Structure 1
Amino acid sequence: MTTAANPTTPGSRPLTVLARSFWSAADAPRPPDLPGFTASPFAPIIAHVADLCLTECHGPPPVPEERAMETATVLVSQLGDMATEAAVVGSVDHGTKASPLLFYQSVPSAVLGVVSSRWNLGGPVICISPAGDSLEEGMDLARLLIDDGSAEDVLLVLVELASREDLVDRAEALLVSGEGS
């Protein structure tokens, strides 16, 4: 466990990092497809890194009931699911009907719903697209959720698909808590 404080927020409680996982296309194969999601690695990557993180802390699903109902899930992505968006644009450009599975606006919250269901999480589900530092803004939101009593723990998932050839798909998940602070 590590403690992470935001020095820019006076009086804020430090958060304890209970578990942390990383995934990068440079280091590991693409996670398996996730039923109900298509045309993009975005949702499978999110589910994979979330599962790794939650397993590190709690073992196999579900999260123990006394923790599960107070665990929020937060997805942070500056660009979102660009691969599904590209598939929709391709469909429109070719004059074909887009599959309902390609409604890329709903992918972030839908995949968090899959993770929440699998792990029996009952806290708030939030997706943000920050203009600034993704980790800092995600931690600020996690701290807010914990400080205002909306959650005791927050599963924070940061994901970005490669937007240029010199980048790779990558994701990180942190399970943070206000306990011990």
Structure 2
Amino acid sequence: MTDHGRPRPAVLAEARWPPPGAPRGGLEQGRFLHSRFPPLVVAVAEACLRQRHREAPAPAAVGERTAVLLSSLRADEPTAAAVAEAVRQRAQVAKPLLFQSAPTAALGELAARWGLAGPMLSITPLGDRLREGLALAGRLLALEEADEVLLICADLATGPERTDTAHALLLGRPPISPNP
């Protein structure tokens, strides 16, 4: 059971960044500027989705009912800082930064690539990013807003010796147990 009295969603697939045993290293930056956050979100989410669907896109009937939920304590601070600095200097903000500054930018790219068309949400929890993400995912499933929820918990390292961390779970409705 979750904190809200609902059964815990079923875990259909799971991935973590960095992957166990992987050497420390950077992620492919792709089309994102200044920040490791969007590539981190995309990398862990795709690793999770590949476990379930092997390759993009997900089957259409599944993708159209899959929600994407980002839970992050700090989100994309480097992009926010780059936009704020440009505004402070009264400089033109690069158009890709304006797109990227929304917490859901990486989710949109991911959803387009994998054919995910369910609700897309981003939260900044006050407490534990996984626990609060699981609670919201459980509500989405219970209210039948989605059949599956891709929950991504991600944050960039804040110190020189720390590592960026991310955890993705593809969740479904809990199995129905027969009444005794």
**Which TM-score applies when normalising by structure 1?**
0.87
1:21 corresponds in structure 2 to 15
Corresponding residue to 1:46 among 41, 49, 61: 41
1:108 corresponds in structure 2 to 103
Counterparts of 1:122 and 1:45, CA distance in 2: 21
Cα RMSD over matched residues?
Answer: 2.0
Measure how far apart 1:105 and its partner are: 7.2
Output one character per residue of 1:47-103: Cα deviation in whole Å (capped at 9) or x when no partner.
Answer: 111110000111111111221111000011111101112222333454432212223
Q: Contact 1:74–1:127 at 8 Å: present in 2 too? A: yes
Secondary structure of 1:108's match? Answer: coil
1:78 corresponds in structure 2 to 73
Q: Contact 2:153–2:167 at 8 Å: present in 1 too? A: yes
Secondary structure of 1:107's match? Answer: coil
Counterparts of 2:100 and 2:79, CA distance in 1: 9
- More divergent stretch after superposition (120-129 vs 107-116): 107-116
Measure how far apart 1:104 and its partner are: 7.2
Corresponding residue to 1:34 among 24, 30, 38: 30
Q: Contact 2:35–2:78 at 8 Å: present in 1 too? A: yes
- More divergent stretch after superposition (81-90 vs 14-23): 81-90
Q: Contact 2:79–2:100 at 8 Å: present in 1 too? A: no
Check 1:46–1:28 CA distance in 2 against 1; reply closer, same or farther (3 A cut): same
Secondary structure of 2:104's match? Answer: helix
Gap regions ≥5 residues in structure 2: none
Counterparts of 2:71 and 2:88, CA distance in 1: 29
Secondary structure of 1:56's match? Answer: helix
Structure 1 residue identity aligned to 2:143: D
Percent identity of paired positions between Structure 1 and Structure 2: 34
Structure 2 residue identity aligned to 1:46: V
Q: Contact 2:67–2:150 at 8 Å: present in 1 too? A: yes
Gap regions ≥5 residues in structure 1: none
**Which TM-score applies when normalising by structure 2?**
0.88
Report whether the alignment pairs 1:176 with 2:176: no
Counterparts of 1:86 and 1:106, CA distance in 2: 10
